[in-house]
A and B are shown apart, each in its own frame.
Chain A
Amino acid sequence: MVNNITILMGGIQGEGVVSAGINLMKTLSKLGYYTYGCRSFSSRIKGGNNTITLHASTEKILCIPDKSDIIIAFDDETIPQNIDKLKEDGLILYDSTLKDDGYKDYKSTPLPMTEIAKTAGSTIMKNTCGMAFIGRILGIDRLIFEESIKEKYAKKADSIITQNLKALELVYNHSIDIQMDHLILTGGDGFSRPLMIGNEAIALGALMAECRFMAAYPITPASEIMEYLGNLLPRYGGVMMQVEDEIAAVNMVIGASYAGTRAITATSGPGLSLMQEGIGLASMTETPLVIVDSQRVGPSTGLPTKHEQSDLYSLYYGGHGEYPSIILAPASVEDCYYDTIRAFNLADEYQCPVIILSDLSLSLSPQTIDPLTYNEDIINRGKLMDKGRENFEAFSFTEDGISQRVLPGTVGGEHHVTGLEHNQLGLPSNDSVNRRKMMDKRFKKIQPLESLQEVCLTKNHKESVLLLTFGSNYGIVKEAVELAGNKYDYGYIKVIKPLPKDQLKDLLDTYKKVIIIENNFHGQLAKIIIGQLGYKDKISSIHKYDGSPFTPFEILEELGGLI
């Protein structure tokens, strides 16, 4: 019996291996296990090898371990491409129609997945068979799968259900001549939890934050946000529009937000580059704007289906001129949900662009999550007024830099906004005194954020080394620290712009060394922190930029060289 297990499933893209893996994760989540899945895919529609590695555990885990316990192959490429990820005592299972794998050092056995599927009615069900074989190996009752098949195909023809149930029965009755009892999972806690990807949590967060408009252009790895909101919004009176390009998307969202509807767009690096001028416009007109940037490998088209965290510089320094904006960096699917709600509130409160900074791993990796809390009172629309007055000053100078806002349609609030420098009435102004005051006003707005506590820390009371990271890396760092016997304190930074300066200073004063872990070439976060706070001698960084996330052992190896 084990309390966690890692399984790599691979096959030809488009044949349903990934969805079989996700169905298995859903079933395990229902039984009270925590799961985390990692997909690898090529930038093509059909053909080419793709895999899903899934980890199931009785404890919550936010990454995939370095090595798998089982590889299950539906095509000839899966095993040679992933054999280095198999534990020494790992098990290879392969479809019996494939040629003998030839990996004699490992325990391996063919399974008649295609054959059983064919007998039951159609080879299409070979993935169902694969899923069922794994379920059987993990000691999951056949009835559980029966239920999930009935549920999944409830709207399909009866024959489909019958065929799948037949396949399931044949799998469970097939005799396997290899010892696998040690792979049985200890029981889950029986508490049924949802399985979500970051992009779905962001979309759901937007809906709950009362967002009712989205304009976007499809791009990997952000499209699921527009897909899910495209399904959700019309059901609640809202609109999701796929538009001609990201420039249209950001400007349409600015228009919708200006007119009072909470609105969002989502993109990745290439789209973000196109949106830069619009982001500047939102900051100049002080229009609330929420953008999701799900990072992938750049520059240019880079590696569209691979992971990176390299947009910090372009979000910090991109776009012409200087303007305030806020960057939130969720580290888990749960964070994606809560941070999205927070993003809308911050955008309204500070009347400026807010970026939800995700990354490919966080956006696309399915995770079993703890239940999201429903809260009635989560909306803060800032200084939004329902009445105007004569000569309404939408850009009045105030103590905190934030002016009152009225929406078009409000009697007596008529006013002008412009991307030109402007006076308090919003009319173009060349005056140099006014220019300085307006710049000061805009930057003053977000200053209070600098004194908030935005680094989430796990203290092991080893206050000499702090490992600091952001985004999906957090789960990997956590696992690495636990594997190393909790020798380090670690944490993740939730707000990257403006930096929580006060808290960071405290941390940099407390620790002898702060090691910043990120997926880019330059160590962008480390450089941004050093640029603003100094402490060059205390900060070092670990970075990886080959398109794949860190593994826990890679982090430990790098740490070995630094400490």
Chain B
Amino acid sequence: MSATKDYSNNVNPTWCPGCGHFSILRALQIAASRLEIPKESLVSVSGIGCSGRLSGYMSSYGFHGIHGRSLPIAQGIKLSNKDLTVVASGGDGDGFAIGLSHTLHAIRRNIDMTYVVMNNQVYGLTKGHTSPLSDVGFVTKSTPYGAIDSPIRPGILTLSSGATFFAQGFSAFQEELVEIIIKAIQHKGFSLVNVFSPCVTYNKVNTYQWFRHQLVNLQEDENYNPNDLQGAFNTLLNTNGLCTGLVYQRVDSEGRSETNDTPLSKLDLKITEEEFNRLMNAFK
């Protein structure tokens, strides 16, 4: 049995006191411990920004990449060694601005891995700039007269791209978040978890208190069926995306079919001289 602390490297996070990201880091560590993932088999891949620091606080394998590209790196890792548990994370900028196309294509590929979006609707590490997930009217240093463009709706976008797993969590609801991450990791295929993670320094609108008033908890609705895609769309539209819990899971998802049962990194790579000659003869 592994303990939560086994997944922590005891480095003190650079996040502001009260930042929602602390809870996500801890939820991931608790989920890993409950799932008893050997820490040598866990790879945390992160993007750039406050969220990107997460991989540097895990005691596991960690890859802190470049802005918006955690998903291509993570998919490469999983395709290379499918025995690994791969959890990518990033901010709303990583997932829905600079890296948006990777998000959609990762959804299409349905590779067996998890993506946690640490969504605070603002660019914190650049010291307060608007995000594609910021609400209209949101004032930042780059939108001094208020954001004009309408925000991307992560849930609708994800589901309409063919996602086989989509859930939402809230940093203040840690136990629910842990359960969601566990389900996401267990899901066969690509699982996307959008976590409302308040930025206490640069987002004075979408605060903990604001979310507590707005969020609908789907787990409290006995009639909610997370395997019904139409229902999931309706719920996202009706709540304006402000709901938590497992929103949708396709039950028959198998993940991307791999060409071989052996992880690529463990294949027998020998090619005999006879085989080589056969390949060469095709050029004659």
Residues of A within 8 A of B (CB): 26, 29-30, 192-196, 200, 204, 207-208, 210, 212-213, 215, 232, 234, 236-239, 241, 243-245, 247-249, 251-261, 263, 277-278, 281, 285, 371-372, 374, 376, 388, 407-420, 426-428
Q: Are A416 and B64 in contact (CB under 8 A)?
A: yes
| Nearest neighbor of B59 in chain A, beta-carbon distance | A414
> Would you list 19 pairs from A and B whose C-beta atoms are within 8 A, ordered by A residue?
A26-B284, A195-B283, A207-B279, A213-B80, A245-B101, A248-B102, A252-B75, A255-B63, A255-B77, A257-B80, A259-B81, A259-B84, A371-B280, A374-B273, A415-B62, A416-B58, A418-B63, A419-B48, A428-B56
Q: Are B64 and A417 in contact (CB under 8 A)?
A: yes
| Nearest neighbor of B44 in chain A, beta-carbon distance | A416
A234→B23 CA distance, assembly (Å): 42
Q: Are B79 and A414 in contact (CB under 8 A)?
A: no
| Nearest neighbor of A26 in chain B, beta-carbon distance | B284
Q: Are A414 and B276 in contact (CB under 8 A)?
A: no
A212→B262 CA distance, assembly (Å): 12
Q: Which residues of B contact A256 (CB under 8 A)?
A: 76-77, 79-80, 264
Q: Which residues of A contact B250 (CB under 8 A)?
A: none
Q: Are A419 and B64 in contact (CB under 8 A)?
A: yes
B72 at the interface (CB under 8 A from A): yes
Known pairs A259-B81, A388-B40; list 6 more (Cβ under 8 Å).
Answer: A192-B284, A237-B267, A261-B265, A408-B43, A412-B40, A420-B64
| Nearest neighbor of A234 in chain B, beta-carbon distance | B259
B230 at the interface (CB under 8 A from A): no
B223 at the interface (CB under 8 A from A): no
Q: Are A194 and B69 in contact (CB under 8 A)?
A: no
Report the minimum CB–CB distance from B183 to chain A (whole Å): 23
A413→B38 CA distance, assembly (Å): 12
Q: Are B284 and A255 in contact (CB under 8 A)?
A: no
A249→B69 CA distance, assembly (Å): 10
In the complex, the 7 A-B pairs of residues with the closest C-beta atoms, listed nearest first: A255-B76, A260-B265, A194-B283, A251-B72, A418-B64, A259-B80, A252-B76
With A204-B279, A213-B264 as known contacts, state yes or no: A278 contacts B69, CB within 8 Å. Answer: yes
Residues of B within 8 A of A (CB): 9, 11, 38-41, 43, 45, 48, 53, 55-56, 58-66, 69, 72-81, 83-84, 101-102, 104-105, 258-260, 262, 264-265, 267, 269, 271, 273, 276-277, 279-281, 283-284
| Nearest neighbor of A201 in chain B, beta-carbon distance | B283
Q: Are B81 and A196 in contact (CB under 8 A)?
A: no
| Nearest neighbor of A245 in chain B, beta-carbon distance | B101
Q: Are A414 and B40 in contact (CB under 8 A)?
A: yes
Q: Which residues of A contact B101 (CB under 8 A)?
A: 244-245, 248
Q: Which residues of A contact B279 (CB under 8 A)?
A: 204, 207, 232
Q: Which residues of A contact B72 (CB under 8 A)?
A: 215, 243, 247-249, 251-252, 255
Q: Are A258 and B105 in contact (CB under 8 A)?
A: no
Q: Which residues of B contact A277 (CB under 8 A)?
A: 66
A561→B50 CA distance, assembly (Å): 61
Q: Are A408 and B65 in contact (CB under 8 A)?
A: no
Q: Which residues of B contact A420 (CB under 8 A)?
A: 64
Q: Are B264 and A208 in contact (CB under 8 A)?
A: no
Report the minimum CB–CB distance from A517 to chain B (whole Å): 30
| Nearest neighbor of B45 in chain A, beta-carbon distance | A255
Q: Which residues of A contact B64 (CB under 8 A)?
A: 416-420, 428
Q: Are B264 and A254 in contact (CB under 8 A)?
A: no
Q: Are A251 and B271 in contact (CB under 8 A)?
A: no
| Nearest neighbor of B60 in chain A, beta-carbon distance | A414
Report the minimum CB–CB distance from A8 to chain B (whole Å): 24
Q: Are A30 and B105 in contact (CB under 8 A)?
A: no
A194→B259 CA distance, assembly (Å): 30
Q: Are B283 and A196 in contact (CB under 8 A)?
A: yes
Q: Are A237 and B262 in contact (CB under 8 A)?
A: yes
A374→B277 CA distance, assembly (Å): 8
Q: Which residues of B contact A413 (CB under 8 A)?
A: 40, 61
Report which of A30, A245, A411, A419 forms a contact with B284, defined as CB distance below 8 A: A30
Q: Are A417 and B62 in contact (CB under 8 A)?
A: yes
Q: Are B77 and A195 in contact (CB under 8 A)?
A: no
A249→B101 CA distance, assembly (Å): 13
A234→B73 CA distance, assembly (Å): 21
Report the minimum CB–CB distance from A202 to chain B (whole Å): 14
A285→B74 CA distance, assembly (Å): 15
Report which of A26, A238, A255, A428 forms a contact with B73, defined as CB distance below 8 A: A255
Q: Are A260 and B11 in contact (CB under 8 A)?
A: no
Q: Which residues of A contact B61 (CB under 8 A)?
A: 408-409, 413-416
Q: Are A259 and B75 in contact (CB under 8 A)?
A: no
The listed residue with most A CB atoms (<10 A of its CB), out of B55, B63, B81, is B63
Report the minimum CB–CB distance from B38 to chain A (whole Å): 8
A237→B72 CA distance, assembly (Å): 21
A256→B75 CA distance, assembly (Å): 8
| Nearest neighbor of B73 in chain A, beta-carbon distance | A255
A426→B271 CA distance, assembly (Å): 36
Q: Which residues of A contact B75 (CB under 8 A)?
A: 252, 255
A407→B43 CA distance, assembly (Å): 11
The listed residue with most A CB atoms (<10 A of its CB), out of B9, B59, B77, B104, is B77
A277→B67 CA distance, assembly (Å): 10
The listed residue with most B CB atoms (<10 A of its CB), out of A376, A414, A420, is A414
A252→B63 CA distance, assembly (Å): 12
Report which of B56, B102, B265, B267 forms a contact with A416, defined as CB distance below 8 A: B56
A147→B97 CA distance, assembly (Å): 59
Q: Are B56 and A195 in contact (CB under 8 A)?
A: no
Q: Which residues of A contact B283 (CB under 8 A)?
A: 194-196, 200
Report the minimum CB–CB distance from A83 to chain B (whole Å): 34
